[in-house]
């Protein structure tokens, strides 16, 4: 094989494929080269006057390395890893760094095995990181626990790339024994440090944390880079930081940046892509195009020690995209290991269904009644204020007028806990929304106008889980997510259509905030995002890292 590659590179034998008449984006030399790209045995042999068994004239289109999503939770797209590949590969993504901590919090090791097996048969390199926070904090009650001892065993047992985002900042800086055991088990750990700065950041980084995707200001990104972190510029569905963070990028520090999506809805992926959308937006905002491709393709390959990958150069893996415009809004062809895998937005491969028998029927609660949601309003108790952001604030109201009721219910049958609070900003009218997507423990989150509608929505989830919308004491939409209550086993197009029905139904009961209602349900229980959240034991002060009420 090596001999064939060398001979083809020298011109002594034909290439397998030659992409002719292209404008090659050179992320190593920082420029654009006009010429032909030769490929042999899945490897780029070089740019030159090559002859191939197959020759494809790209007619002046741009030839670039495949894109890398440097941090993503595939579960957020609500499809299996295999089906996720069918969605992102046609958009130019050939590699992702995935943290499966959503399914791990629900199903533990069985969930991890499902994700690994589902991603094996598709032309997408999925580097799974072992979730570091199962549960996310000591205050969470999830369906599984991966402690320090389990972490060490799982890192040896499965081909994980390292430890996933360490969200337990207090555990790191306060030297929690179990957290330290996890950190010491891994050679590479992803970060999660929203708002962390100064000496606290110093201590966190000294725990062996290499990167962060939670920067929301350019100043925060620059501080973290100066202290040795790489920064993932996030542009997902709920959190969009690209416009702010590219202000921090300059010729001297660009090698420390990559793009990521973290969490992105499937409909947006199919409509605009993931990393291709980051490239387009960055260029529109004034970034040099070659810089944008460097961040999208080459840098993350260096961060994760992927070898010769992420550039169009001799000896590099032939993960290549051909795009008719430099902004990547019109991708004509995607090659993985030198083989065409997508053309004009359509995948050229099929997916296989993995066995879901060990990751389904994960909802284990008794039917609830309206009385389960009885809560008296107390003007001295904080209300969670929503403002179309993952960051939520505590406010105080004189009465409950205009407020909605929210609950977080432990769904695994282990504690029976139920947290209740009032929220401001949704104005839900005679209805409720319930779902089993609730980062990161994924207990049931439900929000509504009253207990009766909320009880109907929760009971509609059944044992498999998903999303249910109730209006006027009637279930008007239900989307089953049989894989851990997080993902569907159906194809991407069907999942998008089913979710559109959910969004439309949510708009009927919350005309001004249907999308925000679905987003907040997914993140209102995430006890590591400032400033106030709702856990299954009540209101939680994220800044003080303790429960307010129980």
The size of the chain, in residues, is 550
Q: Report, as an integer, the average pLDDT of 52-66.
A: 98
Listed residues 291, 313, 347: the one ending a domain = 347
Q: Examine residue 359 and state whether it is found in any structural domain, yes or no.
A: no
CATH of the domain at 237: 3.20.20.140
Distance of CA 36 to the CA centre of its chain: 35
Q: Are residues 517 and 484 in the same domain?
A: yes
- What band does 238 get if pLDDT is binned at 50, 70 and 90? confident
Stretch (H or E) spanning 341: strand 339-343
Q: Report, as an integer, the average pLDDT of 518-529.
A: 87
- Predicted confidence at residue 463, as pLDDT, reads 97
**Cβ within 8 Å of residue 487, ≥6 positions away:** 75, 77, 78, 79, 80, 103, 481
- For the stretch 34-45, what's the b/e string if a residue is b when 16 or more beta carbons lie within 10 angstroms of its beta carbon? ebbbbbbebbbb
- pLDDT above 90 covers a percentage of the chain that reads 90
Q: Are residues 285 and 395 in the same domain?
A: no
Q: Report, as an integer, the average pLDDT of 227-251.
A: 95
- Total domains in the chain come to 3
pLDDT at residue 427 greater than cutoff 90: no
pLDDT at residue 374 greater than cutoff 80: yes
Sign of CA dihedral 51, 53, 59, 60: negative
Q: Are residues 122 and 271 in the same domain?
A: yes
Sign of CA dihedral 211, 104, 447, 474: positive
- Predicted confidence at residue 61, as pLDDT, reads 98
Beginning with the edge strand found earlier in the chain, give each strand of the sheet holding 444-448 in spatial order: 393-395, 383-385, 418-424, 403-409, 444-448, 431-435, 466-471, 474-480
Q: Examine residue 352 and state whether it is found in any structural domain, yes or no.
A: no
Q: Are residues 541 and 457 in the same domain?
A: yes
Higher-scoring residue by pLDDT: 1, 483: 483
Q: Are residues 115 and 255 in the same domain?
A: yes
Question: Which 8-state DSSP code applies to residue 76?
Answer: G
Q: Report, as an integer, the average pLDDT of 29-41.
A: 98
Q: Examine residue 480 and state whether it is found in any structural domain, yes or no.
A: yes
Mean pLDDT of the chain: 95
Q: Examine residue 376 and state whether it is found in any structural domain, yes or no.
A: yes
Cα distance between residue 289 and residue 423, in whole Å: 43
Question: Which 8-state DSSP code applies to residue 59?
Answer: T
Q: Examine residue 55 and state whether it is found in any structural domain, yes or no.
A: no
- Predicted confidence at residue 519, as pLDDT, reads 79
Q: Is 445 helix (H, G, I), strand (E, B) or coil?
A: strand
Q: Examine residue 364 and state whether it is found in any structural domain, yes or no.
A: no
- For the stretch 274-305, what's the b/e string if a residue is b when 16 or more beta carbons lie within 10 angstroms of its beta carbon? bbbbbbbbbbeeebebbbbbbbbbbbbbebbe
**What domain range includes position 334?**
65-347
Q: Are residues 227 and 343 in the same domain?
A: yes
CA dihedral 257, 262, 268, 272 (to 10 degrees): 20
Other C-beta atoms lying within 10 Å of the C-beta of residue 58? 19
Q: Are residues 20 and 119 in the same domain?
A: no
Q: Are residues 380 and 424 in the same domain?
A: yes
- Predicted confidence at residue 106, as pLDDT, reads 97
- Predicted confidence at residue 345, as pLDDT, reads 96
Cα distance between residue 546 and residue 531, in whole Å: 11
Q: Are residues 148 and 199 in the same domain?
A: yes
- Predicted confidence at residue 388, as pLDDT, reads 72
Pairing between β-strand 403-409 and β-strand 346-347 as defined by DSSP bridges: unpaired
Lowest average pLDDT, out of 45-59, 343-357, 449-463, goes to 343-357
Q: Examine residue 295 and state whether it is found in any structural domain, yes or no.
A: yes
pLDDT at residue 387 greater than cutoff 80: no
pLDDT at residue 549 greater than cutoff 80: no
Q: Report, as an integer, the average pLDDT of 7-35.
A: 97
Q: Are residues 500 and 393 in the same domain?
A: yes
Q: Are residues 476 and 329 in the same domain?
A: no
pLDDT digits (tens, 9 = 90+) for 257-280: 999 999 999 999 999 999 999 999
Residue with tokens 């001004």, as numbered in its chain: 512
pLDDT at residue 513 greater than cutoff 80: no
Q: Examine residue 475 and state whether it is found in any structural domain, yes or no.
A: yes
pLDDT digits (tens, 9 = 90+) for 428-437: 989 999 999 9
DSSP letter for each residue of 203-237: HHHTTTB-EES---SHHHHHHHHHTT-EEEEEB-S
- Contact (CB, 8 A) for 71 and 229: no
Q: Are residues 413 and 459 in the same domain?
A: yes
pLDDT at residue 550 greater than cutoff 70: no
pLDDT at residue 447 greater than cutoff 90: yes
């Amino acid at each position: 094989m090596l001999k064939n590659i060398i001979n083809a590179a020298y011109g002594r034998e034909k290439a397998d494929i030659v992409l002719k008449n292209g404008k090659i984006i050179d992320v190593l030399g920082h420029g654009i080269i006009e010429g032909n790209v030769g490929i042999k045995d899945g490897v780029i042999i070089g740019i030159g006057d090559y002859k191939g068994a197959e020759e494809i004239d790209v007619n002046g289109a741009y030839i670039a390395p495949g894109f890398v999503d440097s941090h993503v939770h595939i579960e957020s797209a609500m499809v299996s890893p295999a089906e996720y590949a069918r969605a992102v590969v046609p958009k130019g993504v050939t590699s992702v760094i995935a943290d499966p901590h959503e399914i791990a919090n629900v199903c533990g090791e069985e969930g991890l095995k499902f994700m690994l097996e589902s991603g094996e048969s598709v032309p997408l390199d999925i580097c799974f990181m072992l979730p570091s926070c199962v549960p996310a904090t000591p205050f969470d009650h999830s369906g599984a626990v991966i402690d320090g001892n389990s972490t060490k065993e799982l890192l040896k047992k499965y081909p994980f790339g390292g430890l996933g985002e360490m969200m337990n900042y207090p555990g790191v800086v306060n030297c929690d024994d179990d957290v330290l055991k996890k950190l010491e088990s891994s050679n590479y750990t992803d970060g999660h440090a929203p708002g962390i700065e100064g000496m606290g950041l110093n201590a966190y980084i000294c725990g062996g944390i290499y990167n962060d995707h939670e920067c929301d200001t350019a100043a925060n990104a620059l501080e973290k880079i100066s202290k040795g972190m790489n920064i993932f510029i996030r542009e997902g569905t709920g959190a969009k930081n690209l416009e702010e963070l590219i202000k921090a990028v300059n010729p001297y520090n660009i090698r420390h940046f990559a793009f990521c999506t973290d969490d992105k809805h499937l409909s947006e992926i199919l409509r605009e892509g993931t990393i291709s959308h980051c490239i387009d937006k960055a260029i529109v905002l004034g970034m040099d195009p070659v810089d944008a491709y460097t961040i999208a393709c080459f840098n993350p390959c260096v961060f994760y020690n992927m070898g010769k990958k992420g550039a169009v150069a001799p000896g590099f893996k032939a993960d290549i995209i051909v795009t008719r415009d430099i902004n990547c809004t019109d991708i004509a062809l995607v090659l993985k290991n030198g083989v065409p895998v997508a053309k004009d937005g359509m995948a050229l491969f099929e997916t296989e269904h993995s066995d879901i028998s060990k990751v389904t029927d994960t909802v284990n609660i008794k039917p609830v009644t309206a009385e389960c949601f009885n809560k008296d309003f107390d003007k001295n108790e904080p209300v969670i204020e929503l403002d179309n952001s993952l960051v939520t604030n505590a406010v105080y109201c004189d009465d409950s007028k205009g407020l909605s009721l929210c609950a977080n219910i432990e769904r695994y049958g282990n504690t029976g806990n139920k947290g209740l609070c009032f929220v401001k900003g949704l104005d839900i009218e005679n209805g409720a929304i319930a779902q089993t997507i609730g980062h990161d423990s994924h207990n049931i989150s439900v929000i509504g106008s009253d207990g009766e509608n909320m009880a109907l929505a929760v009971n509609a989830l059944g044992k498999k889980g998903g999303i249910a919308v109730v209006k006027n004491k009637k279930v008007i939409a239900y989307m089953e997510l049989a894989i851990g209550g997080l993902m569907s086993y159906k194809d991407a197009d069907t999942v998008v259509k089913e979710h559109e029905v959910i969004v439309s139904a949510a708009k009927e009961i919350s005309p001004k905030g249907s999308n925000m209602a679905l987003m907040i349900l997914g993140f209102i229980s995430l006890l590591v995002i400032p400033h106030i959240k709702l856990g299954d034991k009540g209101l939680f002060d994220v800044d003080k890292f303790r429960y307010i009420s129980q």
